[in-house]
Amino acid sequence: MAGLGNPDFDAFRLLDEHEALREAVRALVDDKIAPRAAEIDETGEFPQDVYEALVAADLHAIHVPEQYGGQGGDALAACIVIEEVARACAASSLIPAVNKLGSMPLLVSGSEEVKQAYLPPLARGEGMFSYGLSEPEAGSDAGGMRTRAVRDGDDWVIDGGKRWITNAGVSKFYTVMAVTDPEKRTRGGITAFVIEDGDDGFSYGAHERKLGIHGSPTRELYFDNVRIPDTRRVGDVGDGFGVAMRTLDHTRVTIGAQAVGIAQGALDYAVGYAKERKQFGKAIAEFQGLQFMLADMAIKLEAARQMVYVAAAKSERGDADLTFFGAAAKCFASDVAMEVTTDAVQVLGGYGYVKDYPVERMMRDAKITQIYEGTNQIQRLVVARQLLAKH
């Protein structure tokens, strides 16, 4: 067939630019982030120094297009940044990941005015973005949200609250979904807005005390008569649920990348340890029982990585099957991250179970990837819907 047998065959490999980006991120991570990871986990404080290092290297929000002062990194580039940071410190990887999550609604449907207002400061590192969809009574069923936005002349007045908001309190900008028509709800009754830190009536709840990702603050947002101009609206009135879902199609891929990074960090550590640790007079890596375990970890991890990269390419192109691939990649990669990190603890035996070694942190951090941006039950639901609609 024409076109096949091309001597310059170049499919199924990353561009040289992507590989160069990986090397650059890895160098920064080895220098500035990896040595801090255990301490960030221990103190639970947001790593301002890591944020500043990422900003200095233009890696904190690589996805922002060049016309808004950003790097214009494609979806695969964003995944590589997140993956490489997560390989050492999952909490720190939420800086680039949530900057993308919070600003993606603007990119998928914001007016030029709202993009011009918020994307340049994000790109310059003057303020991070967060994403406010979930509420105490509206998690998987996000359409059940109660936060209300009522129009008042050229303004909107917002009342209610959001729960589980990543980087709350350290971000400057919050894309928040609110009910604008209680009759219509998910069918045209929800609208997205940008709320700014410091807006009158906007405050934060206490820090959640979490299993993992300790260096990434998770807090509630409270809105008490927060008055904002209509220029802060993101997308059309009533399109907020669609905006939220289209955003997640793109950003679930980045959670897949985070999961791949966490798993890679754990596998790397386990392999190094297995070659050093001696029992019965030889390195434990010489036992076939352990070799098979390491092999399975590597096989699953590589499958997850390839799936995430394909989904990232679909995100960049805006392919029609992105919904399927975004959900499938996030679901598969996060399940793999949980398995691989748990096995890494097993490879280290008792040493895997204590904080002197990084794999117990990685196992705790991996768990969240199965929960946020939609639990893996919800991802399977999304995948099944896509599958059944097709056949």
Q: Which residues bind ligand FAD (CB under 6 A)?
A: 130-134, 139-140, 164-166, 210, 218, 368, 371-375, 377-378, 381
Closer of 174 and 269 to ligand FAD (Cβ): 174
Looking up tokens 């979904």 gives: 177
Q: How far is the CB of 387 from ligand FAD (least distance, A)?
A: 16
- Pairing outcome for strands 173-179 and 129-132: parallel
> What DSSP element (H or E) covers 51?
helix 48-56
Q: How far, rounded to the nearest angstrom, does the alpha carbon of residue 56 sit from its chain's CA centroid? A: 21
Q: Within 10 A of 173 (CB to CB), how many other CB atoms are there?
A: 24
* 336 vs 292: CA distance, rounded Å: 16
Closer of 348 and 382 to ligand FAD (Cβ): 382
The answer to whether the Cα torsion of 178, 180, 182, 184 is positive or negative is negative
Nearest residue to ligand FAD, by Cβ distance, number only: 139
- Pairing outcome for strands 190-196 and 173-179: antiparallel
Closer of 346 and 376 to ligand FAD (Cβ): 376
- Pairing outcome for strands 278-279 and 282-283: antiparallel
Catalytic residue among 135, 220, 316, 373: 373
Closer of 316 and 365 to ligand FAD (Cβ): 365
Coil vs helix vs strand at 328: helix
Ramachandran sector of residue 133 (left: φ over 0; alpha: ψ -120 to 50; beta: rest): alpha
Closer of 25 and 378 to ligand FAD (Cβ): 378
Residues 6 or more apart in contact with residue 320 via CB below 8 angstroms:
none
Q: How far is the CB of 77 from ligand FAD (least distance, A)?
A: 22
Q: How far is the CB of 19 from ligand FAD (least distance, A)?
A: 31
Q: How far is the CB of 335 from ligand FAD (least distance, A)?
A: 13
CA-closest candidate to residue 35, choices 24, 19, 47: 47
Q: How far is the CB of 252 from ligand FAD (least distance, A)?
A: 11
Closer of 299 and 387 to ligand FAD (Cβ): 387
* 127 vs 145: CA distance, rounded Å: 26
Q: How far is the CB of 213 from ligand FAD (least distance, A)?
A: 6
Q: How far is the CB of 294 from ligand FAD (least distance, A)?
A: 30
* 205 vs 223: CA distance, rounded Å: 11
Let me know: does 140 contact 147? Beta carbons within 8 Å: no
Residue 207 sits at the vertex; the CA angle it makes with 204 and 210, to the nearest 5 degrees, is 145
Closer of 133 and 257 to ligand FAD (Cβ): 133
Q: Is residue 373 annotated as part of the catalytic site, yes or no?
A: yes
> What DSSP element (H or E) covers 132?
strand 129-132
**Residues designated catalytic:** 373
